[in-house]
Structure 1
Amino acid sequence: MHTQLFGPVRQWGFVVRDLDAAMKCWVEQLGVGPWWGYRNVPLTSRFRGMETEVLLDVGLSYQNGVQIELIQQRNDAVSPYWAFYDTPHAQMLHQVAYMVPDLDAALLKAKAAGLSENGMLSNAHSRYYYLESPALAGLVVELMQADPAFLAEYERCAAEAARWDGNDPYRLVG
């Protein structure tokens, strides 16, 4: 029997030019919501050997238990997202993400499967690795640590989104 390398896809991540406009689009045109918004999220970025401080606005929603992440970079630091801003698009699929119980072991599996690291974001609590392969044609694979608190919040929000009645579509968290 075939087993998935990292388990199920838990997130689809999109880079956007305007977080508020993108969330509005997803609510009004696709019926996806509610959105939890985080403003001015500082992260350390390591991208293709360069380390910078990146500032992000992030929107999170859920569809059928899968997280949809909208990412707007607020500064001009080199990061895994920056190439998007050289395109004419308002939003674009950037990554599929997996939550793994052992990040270091998953990185070894990824390397053995032919994926290579192109970047990493981190803060005091978390690390997010971005992997690439020429065969993926620009689509990035994100690996994130699945700790119990993170998973509990993920499941709580996914359940709330499944019950969403269309009211209160935007919830600014930070």
Structure 2
Amino acid sequence: MTRLNYGQPLDGITQVAFTVADIEAEIDRYSREFGIAPWFLRGPFTPENALYRGQPTRVLLSLAMAFSGHLMIELVQQHNDEPSVYRETVERTGYGFHHFGIATADFDTRSDAYRNSGFEPVFTDRTPVGTRIAYFDCKGTMPGMIELIEMNSSQERRYSRIYAEAAAWDGTDPIRRM
């Protein structure tokens, strides 16, 4: 099994994500209650290449990432009413667990495997370092969606830097703006 520099297995769960109503309040809560920090906060922003169910979307988001041990925790706040994978989940089940993030070096093969399993691709975009992401609707076979994250050296360096800062966190400055 190949492990990424921050300890998680390639092609395994690298991230657990939650939708939240107020990202800064949740960052504060997760930092105080669970000792998870520092948080790397990006947004609000509109993803440039986002497609939701095959159509362009102008969703306005804030994302925060931090590590708890070797597992990345992601918080997502949507700031507008634009149709999105986040809005549909919040409307269906409320705020809370949204997806498992799977890091893979073979994005196309893994995407095809999910499609062949009957999972529908419902959201696609690119990360700030240019790698692809795709969300798959698991159609009730799992507790949320799967986000497939294309892992290359740039993406791994980005996540490894966040992991290293979490490992060295001294309890101050829990929010870092990206």
- Per the TM superposition, whether the score is higher than 0.5 is yes
Aligned to 2:135: 130
Change (3 A) 1:88 1:106: closer
Aligned to 1:70: 75
Aligned to 2:87: 82
Letter of the 2:139 partner, please give it: P
Paired with 2:40 and 2:127, the residues of 1 have a C-alpha distance of 19
Give the secondary-structure state (helix, strand or coil) at the position aligned to 2:80. Answer: coil
Change (3 A) 1:129 1:172: same
After TM superposition, give the deviation of residue 106 of structure 1 in Å. 1.1
Which residue of the other structure, out of 42, 56, 62, is the alignment partner of 1:57?
Answer: 62
Superposition map of 1:84-163 within 5 A: 84-86=89-91, 89=94, 91-122=95-126, 125-136=130-141, 139-163=144-168
Cα contact 2:131–2:151 (8 A) shared by 1: no
Letter of the 2:80 partner, please give it: N
Q: CA RMSD in A?
A: 2.1
Aligned length: 167
Is the counterpart of residue 14 in structure 1 residue 18 in structure 2? yes
Give the secondary-structure state (helix, strand or coil) at the position aligned to 2:59. Answer: strand
Letter of the 2:98 partner, please give it: H
Paired with 2:23 and 2:102, the residues of 1 have a C-alpha distance of 23
Superposition map of 1:28-47 within 5 A: 28-43=32-47, 44-47=49-52
After TM superposition, give the deviation of residue 95 of structure 1 in Å. 0.4
Deviations 1:76-106 (A, max 9, x none): 21111112443685x4110001111121111
Cα contact 1:129–1:142 (8 A) shared by 2: yes
In structure 1, the gaps of 5 or more residues are 1-5
Cα contact 2:38–2:174 (8 A) shared by 1: yes
Letter of the 1:148 partner, please give it: S
Paired with 1:88 and 1:25, the residues of 2 have a C-alpha distance of 21
In structure 2, the gaps of 5 or more residues are 1-9
Deviations 1:32-76 (A, max 9, x none): 111111112221332223321222111110011111111111222
